[in-house]
């Protein structure tokens, strides 16, 4: 137990790869949640049918991502890159959405061969 306490207190790697991402994630996730809540409130007032974006599961998931040691590093990178370079994130989503098996083309009604 003493070894773990010493490593957490003195190791700069832990500082850079755990505590700095926690700070980035806390600030980024708080700002993102606040912005989504404000958008939800505006849309609820202006639309007839409204589906909320922020739910309890969203908040729980963000809290888990903030405090998991490796996940918070990548979540912090996601928060930074999604705000700074939205084109990069759109390209990343497009690449990840590529199907492994190409879709079958639809045939016209008379072309059932």
Rounded CA-CA distance 113/109 in Å is: 10
Q: Is residue 108 part of a domain?
A: no
Rounded CA-CA distance 91/100 in Å is: 17
Counting DSSP H helices and E strands in the chain, the numbers are 6, 0
Residues 6+ apart with CB under 8 A from 62: 29, 33
Q: Is residue 61 part of a domain?
A: yes
Domain tally, the chain: 1
Residue-wise pLDDT tens digits, 18-52: 888 899 899 999 999 999 999 999 998 988 888 88
The pTM of this model reads 0.65
Name the more confident of 5 and 72.
72
pLDDT of residue 56: 94
| Structural domain of 87 | 2-96
Q: Is residue 102 part of a domain?
A: no
Residue-wise pLDDT tens digits, 86-112: 787 778 778 888 888 877 777 766 555
Q: Is residue 110 part of a domain?
A: no
């Amino acid at each position: 137990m003493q070894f773990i306490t010493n490593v957490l207190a003195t190791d700069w790697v832990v500082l850079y790869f755990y505590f700095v991402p926690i700070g980035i994630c806390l600030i980024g996730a708080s700002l993102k949640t606040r912005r989504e809540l404000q958008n939800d409130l505006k849309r609820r007032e202006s639309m007839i049918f409204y589906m909320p974006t922020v739910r309890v599961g969203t908040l729980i998931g963000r809290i888990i991502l903030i405090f998991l040691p490796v996940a918070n590093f990548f979540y912090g990178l996601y928060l930074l890159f999604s705000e700074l370079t939205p084109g990069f994130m759109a390209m990343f989503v497009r690449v990840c959405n590529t199907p492994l098996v190409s879709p079958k083309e639809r045939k016209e009604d008379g072309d059932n061969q």
